[in-house]
Structure 1
Amino acid sequence: MNKGIVYGILCYLMWGLLPLYWRLFESMSAWEILAHRVLWSFVFVAVLAAAAKRWRNMLSVVSSRNSLISVLLCSVTISLNWVLFIWAVNHEHVIETSLGYYMNPLISVLFAVIFLKEKLSRGQWISILIAACGVLLMALQFGGIPWIALSLAVSFALYGLAKKMANLDVLLGLLWETLIVLPLAIMYLGYMQAGGSGTFFTLTPFSMTMLLLSGAATALPLFLFASAAKLLPLSMVGFIQYVAPTTSLLLAVFVFHESFTAGKLVSFSLIWLALILYSAVTFRSSKLARREKKAA
């Protein structure tokens, strides 16, 4: 449990800081950045798999129909999530991306209850209700349906659900996720370069190097997320996720200077109150369970 919590916090902190990273490539389209992200993520994970001598186990990951479907779902949902996030960050919608990732834990908990039959205590349900009020208040301030936020929330909740249900090997699961969409990424980059619209070779040496490192920036938090998802209940993984949108929200206000109204502050406070309550109730339940197990 403790190891899973550490993995989750590190993962979401890294994701929360990603807007700073993707702002380095504002001159590139979101689809071109996604294609490079897929390509260099595959290269990075492939090197790790080779170093660990795990390539020979690749086929065992998708040996069953269910595992193959889970890997396909993971690959598609995380790719859609990536491109939407990159587009939103580079079009000054960082606050809306943070809203999406504030909404995601609620959807993750809902999926956990419906599909994985996880049971929640009364205190956990109360914390979810408080968080839902905060998210609803934040959504109302947008004056309409926040499609970017909703799409980010649902796509990542589906990715987390698929990860939890598949229970795949962490390293090889990530390798398959990037491998499935790799041919599309390579064809797209080739098409752009042949048509003269590719921007990779127009970047400065620093930006080019940072884009090559996008594989590590992508794979490391995914690796930590997959490890956390294997060690923790999906509902707890969802609530730890509030670290990421809070970090992004702080970046949006203090670094990118997007507007932050009093209403958004109230929403922010409600969500963190829910997180504190949920964490306290969950840790108390976990401590009691360990005591009972030890006594038995």
Structure 2
Amino acid sequence: MTASAPAAGRAPRPVTPAGLAYGAGAYTFWGGLPLYMAATAPASALEVVFARIAFTLVTCAVLLFALRRWRDVGRQLGSRRRLGGTALASVLITGNWAIYTYAVLSGQTLEAALGYFINPLVSVLAGVVLFGERLRRAQWVAVGLSVTAVLVMVIGHGAFPWLAILLALTFGGYGVVKSRLSTAVSPVASLGAETILLMPVSLAGMWWLAASDQMTMFSHGAGHFWILALSGVVTAVPLILFGAGASRLSLSLLGLLQYINPLIQFLIGLLLFQEAMSTGRWVGFILIWCALVVLMVDSLWAARRNPRLRRGS
């Protein structure tokens, strides 16, 4: 889910209703995922993840065969470098799915939302640590506010936000790996390649759940089975919407739309699931939001100075 570098001299893309609808639709879909995850009960987080891998592969296979793009998967896995990168990406996204599913099913949707609020800041730090990028002053302010927010949560809420940090790290790491894989294949083909590599884990995991009498997929009625089977569609649809939006919107606008996802998750956790918010957690969230405002303003300012940043792929 990364955009390629813009061509030199290309004019910035105009904002179109279709592009906004696709982009906002993708992030709204992702933001509503806690509602789907809650509907998978009484399945465990592990069963949901194993089912998601299997049914996502089925969904990707159907789409790729229908579009006659199955060869794209071969391109994704066609060299040792791309195979290694895809394998690493598959491990990171599986870890992200597992942590996220566990967070929602264990009543910690607010912490999952925090993880996706933090994710842009993790991306900034990844640029410094991995690629030697230099931060602007405003970016350092945003990082400082984020570190302060975590410390406030540890002191005021009495617990380190492990799930949020791990979600941000796994998804941020996934984004870094994907950005280094220079293959011009569709997001669906890329996801299909990742789930192919994950299928042995999925099959072994489901066999273990069945052998230990922990599998619910076939023992709680047809409705429960089809809810789990929908995980493939739930995974693929927002990815397709995102791809359509990314090809029609500037990168700066797409970056602003990403905050729809954690905002919806936050509202679901707070208002629908009625999860507790201590004073320390409120202060921590507010500091993170302040950091994101600083980051967004700085990004828009940088885009004004460098028009290339406003262009899409």
TM normalised by structure 2 equals 0.80
Determine the C-alpha separation between the residues in 2 that align with 1:108 and 1:176. 24
Mean Cα displacement is larger for which, 266-275 or 51-60? 266-275
Structure with more helix by fraction? 1
Is 1:8–1:228's contact at 8 Å kept on the other side of the alignment? yes
Q: Is the alpha carbon distance of 1:179 and 1:102 closer, same or farther for their aligned partners in structure 2, counting shifts above 3 Å?
A: same
SS in 2 for 1:92: coil
**What amino acid is the match of 1:64?**
S
| Cα drift, residue 101 of structure 1 | 2.5
Q: Deviations over 1:178-222 (max 9, x none)?
A: 111112212332443355432112334333322211101112334
1:260 aligns with 2:272: no
Unaligned runs of 5+ in 2: 1-11
Q: Is the alpha carbon distance of 1:228 and 1:64 closer, same or farther for their aligned partners in structure 2, counting shifts above 3 Å?
A: farther
1:58-69 equivalence runs, <5 A = 58-69=73-84
1:47 aligns with 2:55: no
Q: Is the alpha carbon distance of 1:192 and 1:290 closer, same or farther for their aligned partners in structure 2, counting shifts above 3 Å?
A: closer
Q: In structure 1, which of residues 264, 269, 288 is the aligned counterpart of residue 286 of structure 2?
A: 269
Identity of paired residues, percent? 34
**What amino acid is the match of 1:121?**
R
**What amino acid is the match of 1:143?**
G
Superposed CA RMSD: 3.2
**What amino acid is the match of 2:225?**
M
**What amino acid is the match of 2:56?**
S
Is 1:30–1:86's contact at 8 Å kept on the other side of the alignment? yes
Q: Deviations over 1:195-253 (max 9, x none)?
A: 543211233433332221110111233455678899987x9988764433332221111
Is 2:157–2:280's contact at 8 Å kept on the other side of the alignment? no
Determine the C-alpha separation between the residues in 1 that align with 2:134 and 2:214. 52
Q: Is the alpha carbon distance of 1:226 and 1:65 closer, same or farther for their aligned partners in structure 2, counting shifts above 3 Å?
A: farther
1:199 aligns with 2:230: no
How many residues are matched?
292
Q: In structure 1, which of residues 246, 270, 284 is the aligned counterpart of residue 301 of structure 2?
A: 284
> Corresponding residue for 1:184?
201
| Cα drift, residue 57 of structure 1 | 3.2
TM normalised by structure 1 equals 0.84
SS in 1 for 2:276: coil
Is 2:95–2:170's contact at 8 Å kept on the other side of the alignment? yes
SS in 2 for 1:54: coil
| Cα drift, residue 152 of structure 1 | 1.7
> Corresponding residue for 2:110?
95
> Corresponding residue for 2:141?
126
| Cα drift, residue 77 of structure 1 | 0.8
| Cα drift, residue 119 of structure 1 | 4.6
Is 1:163–1:229's contact at 8 Å kept on the other side of the alignment? no
**What amino acid is the match of 2:275?**
E
**What amino acid is the match of 2:177?**
A
Q: In structure 2, which of residues 98, 102, 110 is the aligned counterpart of residue 83 of structure 1?
A: 98
Unaligned runs of 5+ in 1: none
